[in-house]
Structure 1
Amino acid sequence: MKRCAALVLATALSIGPAAADPVELSAFRDLPRPEPTVQVAYGEAPAQQVDVFLPAGPGPYPVAVLIHGGCWSAVTAGREQMRHIGAELARRGIAVWSLGYRRADEAGGGYPGTYRDVGAALDRLAEDAPTRRLDLSRVVLAGHSAGGHLALWAASRGSIPATSPLHGSPRFVPRAVISLGGVGDLATFARFVPVLCGPGIVERLAPTDKLAEVSPAALMPSAGAVVMVSGVLDRLVPPWVADDYARALKGKSATGPRLVNVPDAGHFDLVTPSTPAWQEVLGLIEAALEAR
């Protein structure tokens, strides 16, 4: 805890005054959110649906898989909170597969249901790709906040032991997984979850004896690249959280995650299209999809 406080203080002293105030939750909630092109159900629960945004033109389209945040809790909005991002990417020629999932405090959610939902939604993407003209060779996973944790987990699920109910064989390998203010190391972050998200969430989402199956830091990502994007002014998931994940992966792979710290950005700037932070995130998504 002392190390974390020192890192936050050192960062604050080095960056000087912010050029603009970070986007607050209330402003993020008020953003207009267009309806998706189509909604696809992969289960019977209301949360088990995907918002699909398709660009104009014949395709095949590159794909951004979006995973929403919200403290892993049904108290917050679900996949609807990412619809403005879906519409923005579709205008740029990128198809969007924005998935919902049962949260930790929903019936069937937590361990293992939340993770099974994410895996099932990705498997459904592979099944629907031919009919919806989606190019599975050009896919990026991008998750915000709690969705960042799930995106990192999804990119690592191939390394889960076969004895686990979460074991699965991914049907495509994303070019990149981009965590936007997300949590990669649940073991170090778990003590903050009750303060940020309320009691009971972390116990349902990540039982102590299951951390090795649900904390991305304990697994091996299979994506072409891993990018951890943090707002320097993020008060909810500060940059040291990404640093903890990078440190946990040291020695496990030849190349560790790339850390991107965005100046003057808070937690919601990363998913608000009018901000410089979003322009940086957009550049990362487009660069990953264009890479050969």
Structure 2
Amino acid sequence: MKRCAIVVLSVLALGPALADPVELSAFRDLSRPAPTLQFAYGEAPSQGIDMFLPAGPGPHPVAVLIHGGCWSATTAGREQMRHLGPELTRRGIAVWNIGYRRADEAGGGYPGTYEDVSAALDRLAEEAGVHRLDLARVVLVGHSAGGHLALWAASRGSLPAASPLHAASRIVPRAVISLGGVGNLATFARFVPLLCGPGVVERLAPADKLSEVSPAALSPSTVPVILVSGVLDRLTPPWVADDYARALRAKSGITPRLINVPDAGHFDLVTPHSQAWQQVHGFIEASLDLQ
């Protein structure tokens, strides 16, 4: 706790940046176009998927987007990532933007939130043939709370058979890219009530289920892992990614790629035309062999 507090205070004490980070209000004001198609995989409004298709016959590589928002229904759902649809389709990438029941929604938390992520990925496998989606070129991209879910989804194949979350994975991504995400819930859980409000972490990651839902506790996927952090991020500072990277190295010897973007805050990572987004879409394209 002392180490984490020192790191957080150090981030807050940084001097003026060369460019101001994108604020939440500016992120909220971004234009969010309607998707090409939408799919429902459950009865709740949040159990839906937005698909954005690029021009041309395909087969199209796919970026799976998983939104953040504190795992809470008090924030926007998958619509908060719709602005990235045209950003990626103009680069020839199809977008599979998934929603899920949050921890404080009926049916959300453990196991519902995780079951939803799995169901949304399974639906991608079912729709791929109809919409000319290339399942050999898929990348998972999660922001904030969605970064946790993307890392979890990439490692869910190692879940024990007795877990209600155990299922054969139908999607093997080329890479998983966590943008200001949380990989080690055991160490970050103490901060969740301060950032997201009471009750969220208890429903999302009950103490006796932490080994099933914290990516750091699972056997890691063999796919490349890229952890992108804004140096000026005050919600999930760079130490959060570093904490997961250390756990991954200790557990398996795997070293994820750590990227710290100067002058970037939490929302720069998913804001078009920001310097951070220029790096992020470069990682997406490289993972899909588009460079």
TM-score calculated relative to the size of structure 1: 0.96
1:15-61 Cα deviation digits (max 9, x unpaired): 86311110010000000000000001111111111000000000000
The offset of 1:249, in angstroms, is 1.1
1:133 is matched with 132
1:220-252 Cα deviation digits (max 9, x unpaired): 232520011000000000000011101111243
Aligned equivalents of 2:125, 2:286: Cα separation in 1: 22
2:156 is matched with 157
2:260 equivalent to 1:250: no
16-25 or 44-53: which moved more? 16-25
The offset of 1:168, in angstroms, is 1.1
Aligned equivalents of 1:116, 1:8: Cα separation in 2: 33
2:80 is matched with 81
Secondary structure of 1:203 counterpart: helix
Secondary structure of 2:130 counterpart: helix
Aligned equivalents of 1:38, 1:93: Cα separation in 2: 17
Note closer, same or farther for the CA distance 1:245–1:291 as it changes in structure 2 (3 Å cut): farther
The offset of 1:86, in angstroms, is 1.6
Secondary structure of 1:190 counterpart: helix
1:143-197 Cα deviation digits (max 9, x unpaired): 0000000000000100010000001111121010000000000000001000100
Unaligned runs of 5+ in 2: none
The offset of 1:91, in angstroms, is 1.2
2:70 is matched with 71
Secondary structure of 1:220 counterpart: coil
Note closer, same or farther for the CA distance 1:161–1:133 as it changes in structure 2 (3 Å cut): same
53-62 or 1-10: which moved more? 1-10
Aligned equivalents of 1:264, 1:215: Cα separation in 2: 29
Residue identity matched to 1:2: K
Secondary structure of 1:228 counterpart: strand
Note closer, same or farther for the CA distance 1:200–1:12 as it changes in structure 2 (3 Å cut): closer
Residue identity matched to 2:121: L
C-alpha contact 1:173 1:223 (8 A) present in aligned 2: no
Secondary structure of 2:82 counterpart: helix
1:79-108 Cα deviation digits (max 9, x unpaired): 000000122101111000000000001111
Aligned equivalents of 2:219, 2:62: Cα separation in 1: 23
1:113 is matched with 112
Cα RMSD (Å): 1.6
Name the % identity: 78
Aligned equivalents of 1:118, 1:12: Cα separation in 2: 33
Aligned equivalents of 2:43, 2:119: Cα separation in 1: 12
2:215 is matched with 216
Aligned equivalents of 2:211, 2:237: Cα separation in 1: 23
1:188-231 Cα deviation digits (max 9, x unpaired): 00010001000000000000000000000001232520011000
1:53 is matched with 52
2:203 equivalent to 1:200: no
Aligned equivalents of 1:166, 1:40: Cα separation in 2: 22
Runs ≥4 residues deviating over 4 A? 8-13
1:281 is matched with 280
2:37 is matched with 38
1:181 is matched with 180
Aligned equivalents of 1:250, 1:93: Cα separation in 2: 34
Secondary structure of 2:137 counterpart: strand
